[in-house]
């Protein structure tokens, strides 16, 4: 076993070792129990006092969703103003221009919905004001929004009948002060100690290796303030255009390990937080087992394929012992890059330390599958919400198979809940395949006008378009960057896909949980379906596999699978 593979195993084991106690801590925060960071209470009370919010007032699921959508609308308008006027606003030492209306629309939505799809190049497309006051701010609040929504669902799943599901604003503020901010500060210090810039100076001018009068302008900036929450909040938007492949954004293998751990930490911890919150640890381990099985089914093939390299290039006599190194950093190697590619897509981070467009065809397919499922760990809070939908479907099917009324945690699953679950499930396929079909038709109808859209023809070009909408719907933000995406068409269509792909999959699970919470609690009996067993875990995995295969296999055949067969033949 080589050192690179050991490094990958170490990253996963460390993440799990931290996620279990961290999940217990998160459950305490949302339950209002005493915890390590209770000294933030005066700051939280200050926010509630100046905003006129009664944090002790109970809210039902509808009131929680109204609060969520209202504050997100305000943030969207704020972001649009900043981005469309950043050229003349302060903190712009490099004199970067303001964004066009369509690019500002796409970017504002992207950071608002935790997607961070970047159709601009980081250091040249945004100013320091935009990077900090707009992007970093939205990276904090978008992650806290997902966590607060998950907390509402946690509260709804307790074994009682009620309309009151806690206070959304209380969960939101505590997610910021007691979860996201403290860890971000600690990680930022570690990053600065390892050479990550934290300055408001403009570009540095240095002499090139050619010597003489040749100089190169090197961008710096307040990078260390943004990168911790970029990963901890599963945001993924980089300060620089090449994201975590940039040496200022990811200086060395140690920072690479930290960035890998913190982006997977909260999604994994939320699974255990659910178990502690409901006092059902076995149920949490069942969920973790299903998620991890799905994760391994994606990450192991990717690591193997990238380490073996491209067989077509190997036939030319090129040494492939280092693996498929095109688009990858030598300082990280193929195993760590392949591991990152699935971690960042299986959750909704979307950051990259290599370029997904250069991966082997079936590796690219696995990256898309990770986003199409969007429930193996998932993003901050929303990952557990997406998995909740699959649980509801699996419970319903299992109940029909044994001839009983489906029940989950003492509440009957009926037609209303199933309709919502089905709509949420089918929505993703509609947005991804509908968007790709529209783009394919538009490109085919105007091949000369839109020649700059695709830098790669044929099957891979189709994959680039499919990946863009898959990433937008999953609120991921990574991309196959052979795609020329900074056009009104891509900015606007992907923007609407991001909005629908973010808020409807949040509203749906919260609505189901709220409806279930209002139903009469039915104590478990001998005939009650056990949802914390291996058998039920297999059932959920089968549901995920069947739904994903039926929804996306035809599209994947037209893209990465066809590209794979064209490569080997």
pLDDT of residue 155: 94
Domain assignment of residue 308, given as a range: 3-568
CA distance 569 to 566: 5
Contact 127, 91 (CB under 8 A): yes
265-266-271 Cα angle (round to 5): 105
Backbone φ/ψ region at 75: left (φ over 0), alpha (ψ -120 to 50), beta: alpha
- Biggest distance spanned by C-alpha atoms of the chain: 84
Specify the pTM. 0.95
Residue 131 DSSP one-character state: I
pLDDT above 80 for 560: yes
* Residues 505-524 pLDDT 10s: 999 999 999 999 999 888 87
Confidence band for 110, pLDDT divided at 50, 70 and 90:
very high
Tokens 């394919």 belong to which residue? 440
Bridge-partner residues for 328, per DSSP?
354
- pLDDT for 567 equals 87
Mean pLDDT for 194-223 is: 85
Q: SS3 of 207, please?
A: strand
Q: How many CB atoms within 10 Å of residue 337?
A: 28
Q: What are the pLDDT digits (tens) for 124-137?
A: 999 999 999 999 99
Q: How confident is the model at residue 211 (pLDDT cuts 50, 70, 90)?
A: low
Asked if the model's pLDDT at residue 481 lies above 90, the reply is no
Query: Cα separation of 123 and 105, whole Å?
Result: 19
Half-sphere exposure of 447 (CA within 13 A, CB side): 4
Angle (CA) 104 106 109, round 5°: 100
Quick one: pLDDT at residue 212?
A: 64
pLDDT average, residue stretch 523-537 = 84
Q: What span, in angstroms and rounded, lies between the C-alpha atoms of 11 and 261?
A: 6
Tokens 């005939």 belong to which residue? 527
Q: Considering the chain, what percentage of its residues have pLDDT values greater than 90? A: 77
Residue 207, strand partner residues: 215
Mean pLDDT, the chain, rounded, equals 92
Alpha-carbon distance of 391 to 540, in angstroms, equals 6
Q: How far is Cα 485 from Cα 96, in angstroms, rounded to an integer? A: 20
Taking the C-alpha atoms of residue 484 and residue 65, their distance in angstroms, rounded to an integer, is 35
Q: How far apart are CA 98 and CA 85, in angstroms?
A: 5
Per-residue pLDDT band for 5 (boundaries 50, 70, 90) equals confident
pLDDT digits (tens, 9 = 90+) for 389-427: 999 999 999 888 877 778 888 889 999 999 999 999 999
Q: How far is the C-alpha of 363 from the C-alpha of 260, rounded, in Å?
A: 19
Count of C-beta atoms within a 10 Å radius of residue 289: 16
Is the pLDDT at 330 greater than 80, yes or no? yes
Q: Residue 334: name the closest of 365, 311, 312, 355 by CA.
A: 355
- Beta strand spans in 277-361 (E): none
Total tally of structural domains belonging to the chain: 1
- N residues, the chain: 569
Q: How far apart are alpha carbons 265 and 128 in whole angstroms?
A: 28
Give me the residues paired with residue 218 across strands: 204
DSSP 521: P
Q: Is the pLDDT of residue 451 over 80?
A: no
Can you name the residues that pair with 382 across neighbouring β-strands?
Answer: none
For residue 129, give the H/E element and its range.
helix 128-129
Question: Can you say whether the dihedral through the CA atoms of 105, 111, 116, 118 is positive or negative?
Answer: positive
Predicted confidence band at 375 (pLDDT cuts at 50, 70, 90)?
very high
Q: How far is CA 510 from CA 70, 88, 165, 415, in A?
A: 16, 42, 10, 16
The two structure tokens encoding residue 69: 């959508």
* Cα dihedral sign, 326-327-330-332: negative
Q: Are the beta carbons of 501 and 428 closer than 8 angstroms? A: yes
Q: Which two tokens stand for residue 48?
A: 């509630």
Quick one: pLDDT at residue 35?
Answer: 86
DSSP secondary structure of 42-100:
HHHHHHHHHHT--TTS---HHHHHHHHHHHHHHHHHHHHHHHHHTTTSSS-TT-PPPPP
């Amino acid at each position: 076993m080589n050192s690179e593979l050991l490094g990958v195993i170490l990253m996963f084991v460390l993440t799990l070792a931290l996620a279990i106690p961290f999940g217990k801590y998160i459950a305490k925060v949302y339950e209002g129990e005493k915890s390590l960071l209770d000294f933030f209470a005066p700051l939280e009370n200050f926010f509630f006092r100046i905003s006129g919010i009664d944090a002790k007032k109970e809210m039902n699921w509808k009131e929680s969703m109204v609060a969520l959508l209202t504050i997100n609308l305000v943030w969207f308008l704020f972001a649009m103003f900043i981005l469309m006027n950043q050229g003349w606003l302060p903190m712009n030492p490099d004199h970067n221009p303001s964004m066009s209306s369509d690019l500002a629309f796409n970017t504002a939505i992207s950071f608002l919905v935790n997607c961070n799809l970047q159709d601009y190049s980081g250091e040249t497309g945004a100013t320091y004001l935009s990077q900090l006051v707009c992007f970093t701010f939205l990276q904090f609040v978008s992650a806290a929004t997902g966590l607060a929504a998950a907390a509402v669902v946690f509260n709804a799943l307790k074994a009682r009948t009620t309309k009151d599901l806690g206070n959304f604003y209380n969960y939101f503020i505590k997610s910021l002060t007691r979860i996201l901010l403290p860890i971000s500060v600690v990680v930022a210090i570690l990053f600065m100690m390892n050479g990550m810039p934290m300055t408001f100076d403009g570009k540095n001018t240095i002499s090139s290796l050619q010597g003489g009068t040749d100089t190169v302008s090197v961008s710096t900036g307040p990078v260390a303030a943004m990168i911790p929450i970029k990963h901890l909040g599963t945001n993924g938007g980089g300060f620089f255009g090449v994201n975590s492949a940039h040496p200022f954004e990811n200086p060395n293998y140690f920072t690479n390990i930290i960035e890998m751990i913190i982006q997977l930490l909260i999604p994994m911890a939320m699974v255990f937080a659910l178990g502690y919150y409901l006092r059902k640890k076995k149920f949490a381990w069942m969920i973790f087992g299903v998620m991890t099985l799905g994760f391994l089914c994606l990450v192991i093939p990717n690591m193997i394929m990238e380490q073996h390299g491209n067989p077509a290039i190997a036939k030319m006599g090129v040494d492939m012992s280092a693996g498929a190194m095109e688009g990858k950093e030598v300082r990280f190697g193929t195993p760590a890059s392949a591991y990152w590619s699935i971690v960042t897509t299986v959750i909704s981070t979307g950051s990259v330390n290599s370029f997904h467009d250069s991966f082997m065809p079936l590796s690219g397919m696995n990256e898309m599958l990770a986003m199409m499922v969007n429930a193996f760990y998932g993003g901050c809070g929303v990952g557990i919400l997406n998995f909740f939908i699959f649980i509801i479907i699996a419970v319903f099917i299992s109940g029909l198979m044994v001839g009983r009324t489906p029940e989950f945690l003492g509440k009957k699953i009926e037609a209303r809940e199933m309709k919502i679950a089905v709509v949420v499930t089918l929505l993703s396929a509609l947005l991804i395949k509908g968007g790709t079909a529209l783009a394919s038709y538009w490109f085919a109808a105007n091949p000369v006008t839109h020649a700059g859209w695709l830098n790669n023809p044929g099957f891979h070009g189709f994959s680039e378009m499919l990946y863009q909408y898959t990433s937008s719907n999953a609120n991921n933000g990574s991309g196959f960057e052979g795609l020329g995406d900074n056009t009104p068409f891509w900015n606007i269509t992907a923007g609407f896909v991001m909005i629908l792909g973010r808020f409807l999959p949040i509203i749906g699970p919260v609505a189901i949980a709220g409806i279930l919470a209002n139903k009469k609690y039915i104590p478990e009996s001998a005939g009650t379906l056990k949802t914390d067993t291996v058998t039920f875990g297999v059932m959920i995995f089968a549901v995920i596999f069947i739904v994903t295969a039926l929804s996306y296999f035809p599209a994947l055949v037209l893209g990465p699978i066809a590209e794979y067969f064209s490569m080997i033949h």
